Structure 1
């Protein structure tokens, strides 16, 4: 069984921000989807959401604030799942609530390489 990182991306523009009511309504689908992955025994790590502020370290050890407000798309969170292959992990990602309103985001699926 391989491990895959599912990265949740969404539109970061002010126009695309959900209302408080939409945020509240979006909690249940996330809980149901993550609960199913956990019940199926494929959820390895629940990465949770990421706060909007952070830092970016560039060559020369230059540190800047980030991610930048003018970037349209941002990473909102991630999880690690177990799957036989990329296709199986991608199928899991298709159930992610970030793909639906109010988020209308995307899921990036990447296989993790474990150095032994």
Structure 2
């Protein structure tokens, strides 16, 4: 099996895009269930983590700006490494990701050996 990085992104630019507290609780439960399902299938590589929405961007090895990506609307909400045979199988795993409930997307990258 190969390892694939799943990067979870969502546009958090407007207050209108923010879910209610109740919706967020349901959403977090969906994430927990999805992670538990992946673990039961022995697809997870390492522990899962949630990432801070803030950050910095370093450009040209000297210019530092607040980030993480000041020039795009989407921010990375987290990432996960999974096991899958190929990109198609990794995409099938990603299709069940709860990020889609709030208009997010999943970028998939294969680890090189």
TM over 0.5: yes
Structure 2 counterpart of 1:4: 4
Which position in structure 2 is the counterpart of 1:76? 77
Q: Is the 8 A contact 1:10 1:75 kept in 2?
A: yes
What residue in structure 1 maps to residue 106 of structure 2?
107
With normalisation by structure 2, the TM-score equals 0.90
Q: Which has the higher strand share?
A: 1
Runs of 5+ in structure 2 lacking a partner? Answer: none
Q: Check conservation: 2:4, 2:81, Cα contact below 8 A.
A: yes
SS at match of 1:42: coil
Q: What CA distance in whole angstroms lies between the structure 1 residues aligned with 2:71 and 2:112?
A: 32
* Counterpart Cα distance in 1 of 2:35 and 2:56: 28
C-alpha displacement of 1:70: 6.7
User: Do the aligned partners of 2:69 and 2:75 also contact (CA within 8 Å) in 1?
Assistant: no
Offset of residue 111 of structure 1: 0.4
Query: Is 2:19 aligned against 1:18?
Result: yes
3-state DSSP of counterpart to 2:9: strand
Instruction: From the superposition, tell whether residues 17 and 70 of structure 1 become closer, same or farther in structure 2 (CA, over 3 Å).
Output: farther
* 1:14-93 → structure 2 map (5 Å cutoff): 14=14, 15-67=16-68, 71-93=72-94
**Number of aligned pairs?**
112
**TM-score w.r.t. length of structure 1:** 0.88
Aligned in 2, Cα 1:83/1:66: closer, same or farther, shift over 3 Å? same
| Contact 1:12–1:71 (Cα < 8 Å) also in 2 | no
- Unmatched 5+ stretches in structure 1: none
CA distance in 2, matches of 1:67, 1:59: 15
Q: Which contiguous aligned blocks of 4+ residues in structure 1 show a shift greater than 6 angstroms?
A: none
